[in-house]
Structure 1
Amino acid sequence: MIPSSVPPRLILASGSAYRRELLSRLQLPFEAISPDIDETPQAGEAPQETALRLARAKAAAVASKAPGALVIGSDQVATLDGLQIGKPGNHARALEQLQLMRGRRVVFHTALCLWDSRVADPAHAAQVDNIQVFVDFRDLPDAELDAYLRIEQPYDCAGSAKNEGLGIALLDNIASTDPTALTGLPLISLTGMLRRAGVAFFGT
């Protein structure tokens, strides 16, 4: 922990409205800056490795332009039978994803990185964690899946289902150590990282 009488600048390295809403729950002042990085998985890379690498890369990219700041990076990779399920991008691909996942268990890897740019050595600047969320999808007919997609249009969401919205009706069970991890920012892990970095909660 680096003691300081002045709270460090806090930056969320993301353009995600979902992550901004989650971070705002902590009632800490922060900025959101979208990192400019290539999010393509590398050949032979395990899903959790992809998530951790990208969370760290996002935080590092923004931290390099924000000396003295604490930068939060996060990335999520959904997997079925060990294979990555990305953001669908359109209706047809989203329907294919939901058809593939119905009646099945999908594992979401939500990686988190807190980069402390006050630390001079990059090898010691980052705290990282990977939270796994196990999601059981209901076995629903095509008509319901199609209707859901037309209502919510979750085409920017890995796995094509927003649990914070109507997508919760597609799910049968969610199991995780952190209930906010599925939405994209594990707040239990993050608050622990922030405390270790010297951030005070509750005015203490």
Structure 2
Amino acid sequence: MSIWLGKDLLILASQSRARQVLLANAGITFEAVPADIDERAVQKESGLSAPGDIAKLLAREKALWVSQQKPGRYVVGADQTLALGDRLFSKPAGRAAAAEQLGLLAGKRHELHSAFAVARDGKILFADVSVAHMTMRSLSKGETEAYLDQAGEAVTTSVGAYQLEGLGVHLFERIEGDHFTILGLPLLPLFSFLRSERLLSV
């Protein structure tokens, strides 16, 4: 049973399985409609360098793109960036790139910036960004190789080469931040906004 009160389903402008599971588990019925934008081109053109600003920009652009295709609908766009100091990470292109990312992150504290934006009729109604701090434990070459062997192709689907809801949990010694931010969709501020629009029954 859904707690969504809108006359039309909420739209999630994302292909992310983790984000879709988060919404579904929270009792929200929705439609997934990925945004057709070139994220790297949008980022480059913006000139932004702060990871939180980049995440919010991309979340907004995704929400706006889908909103323009689906008039009258509430659309949630989301994006996440990983920053180690001044260095931003993208999804690794293959096993070698995943191993390189893990080598850079091991034994250090990095940040995940998770942003979302809600749009309707080509206008942003609300946007927010949350941060989680992740401390990865030191990893031997053997541990890294064993992890990559077990995780398989999944390491190429997430920035940082890990998914905390899966085998990636074994890589960490400390996590500061809420579960939803880490998985890429900060549900608490999102639901607070949707309640203010009288779109949730709980």
When normalised by structure 1's length, the TM-score is 0.89
Where in structure 2 are the equivalents of 1:38-187 lying within 5 Å? Answer: 38-40=38-40, 41-42=43-44, 43-117=47-121, 122=123, 125-153=124-152, 154-176=155-177, 178-187=178-187
Secondary structure at the residue paired with 1:111? strand
Secondary structure at the residue paired with 2:191? helix
8 Å contact 1:7–1:199 — kept in the other structure? no
Identity %: 34
When normalised by structure 2's length, the TM-score is 0.90
Compared CA separation, residues 74 and 138, structure 1 to 2 (3 A)? same
Q: Distance in 1 between matches of 2:69 and 2:110?
A: 36
Secondary structure at the residue paired with 2:39? coil
Deviation at 1:199, TM superposition (A): 0.9
Aligned pair count?
Answer: 192
Deviation at 1:6, TM superposition (A): 5.1
Structure 1 gap segments, 5+ residues each: none
Q: Distance in 2 between matches of 1:150 and 1:190?
A: 36
Q: Please tell me the residue identity of whatever aligns with 2:78.
A: S
Structure 2 gap segments, 5+ residues each: none
- Match status 1:15 vs 2:10: no
Q: Distance in 1 between matches of 2:117 and 2:48?
A: 22
Q: Distance in 2 between matches of 1:168 and 1:184?
A: 15
The superposition leaves residues 18-74 of structure 1 with CA deviations (integer Å, 9 ceiling, x where unpaired) of 111111122121100111001113245221111111000000000001111110110
Compared CA separation, residues 194 and 144, structure 1 to 2 (3 A)? same
8 Å contact 2:48–2:54 — kept in the other structure? no
8 Å contact 1:137–1:173 — kept in the other structure? yes
Secondary structure at the residue paired with 2:142? helix
8 Å contact 1:133–1:174 — kept in the other structure? yes
Secondary structure at the residue paired with 2:179? coil
Compared CA separation, residues 6 and 13, structure 1 to 2 (3 A)? closer
Compared CA separation, residues 50 and 44, structure 1 to 2 (3 A)? closer
